Chain A
Amino acid sequence: MKPDVQSPAKPKGSVQIPGVIVQFLSQATIGMAGTRDASLVPRIRRVSGWRVEPDQETIACTIPEGYTGGLLESLRDNGEFTLTVEEIGPHETYQFKGTYVDAGPCTAPDLSAFEGLRDRFGSVVHSLYGIPEKACRAYIARPSVTVRFRVREIFVQTPGPGAGRRLVPAEEK
């Protein structure tokens, strides 16, 4: 695909992703994203990898072919993008809500992130669920596009009563 650099709106602010969360993202094992169209109809986007850019405000997120229908149209329309990432096993989970920056073909670092996720997912899901590792690895599909978005909020999503608490920016007490 051709790079898509059309951003519908300037980000309403962005935040620094704390180092401990950057570390978490490097070892987490499953991620999924969401967009919505002009009619507020949400759409799931499976992701095949993610990486935090050096500014620690931007995440590059790779998406396989089966989940790209209407993706760029939605992002150009409203710029809303959300990514939820979990470490399977401990259930530690965070959600990153942000604003679309651009999209384009997957780069070498994007594909490296995909391969790392495939390795981690294959190993962990095989050991926890007993599903053959080959099937687990195949489940992380090769991505066809990379979406970059700037994070403006991070939420705790680890299951339990505290799920949904905003971590960054910190909630006012």
Chain B
Amino acid sequence: MDSPLPDAIRPVMQNGVPAIIVTCSAAGVPNATIISQAYYVDAMHVALSFQFFNKTIRNVRENPRASLCLNDVEGSVNWVLDIEYERSETDGPVFDEMDMQIEAIASATGMSGIFKLRAADIYRVRSVERVPIDAST
């Protein structure tokens, strides 16, 4: 059964800290990649940017399951989402918003012109896990 995204996760998706996604090819080889940002679509969906035809993009088209980690460094917590690729959008409000935010991130990180949005990939959220950081050292 799918789990909705809690409200507490929304600021984490906008904190500018890169997220991490792990996918798996049909042949069973996992792939871990850093992504600039994940986007809140609605309580049951997130969007990830499709900028280059890379391994992540190929993998989710072969095997739609993915594991997404959102980082809240100041709050000492991570959010791990079990997500499933549903579709790609090449226009519309989600695409336009992502395109604008990607350009802003690229500009802020000195990588303007490197990032270009091809599509907004929409994923269904299957489960959400809050993982507090154990600060004991």
A residues adjacent to B (C-beta < 8 A)? 32-36, 40-44, 46, 64-67, 78, 80-84, 86, 91, 93, 95, 97, 118, 125, 129, 131-132, 135-139, 141-142, 155, 157, 159-161, 163-164
Contact = CB atoms under 8 A, between A and B. Distances in A.
A125 B111 contact: no
Contact of B67 (A42, A83, A118): A42
B135 A141 contact: yes
A44 B28 contact: no
Q: What class of interface size applies to chain B in its complex with A?
A: 35 or more
Contacts of A44: 20-22, 32, 67-69, 80
Contact of A142 (B63, B73, B137): B137
Contacts, number: 126
Contacts of A131: 73-74
Interface in B14-70: 16-17, 20-24, 26, 28-34, 36, 52, 54-55, 63, 65-69
Given A40-B63, A97-B30, 9 more contacts: A44-B22, A80-B29, A81-B30, A84-B20, A95-B31, A125-B73, A131-B74, A159-B36, A160-B111
Interface of B: 16-17, 20-24, 26, 28-34, 36, 52, 54-55, 63, 65-69, 71, 73-74, 76, 78, 80, 82, 109, 111, 114-115, 131-137
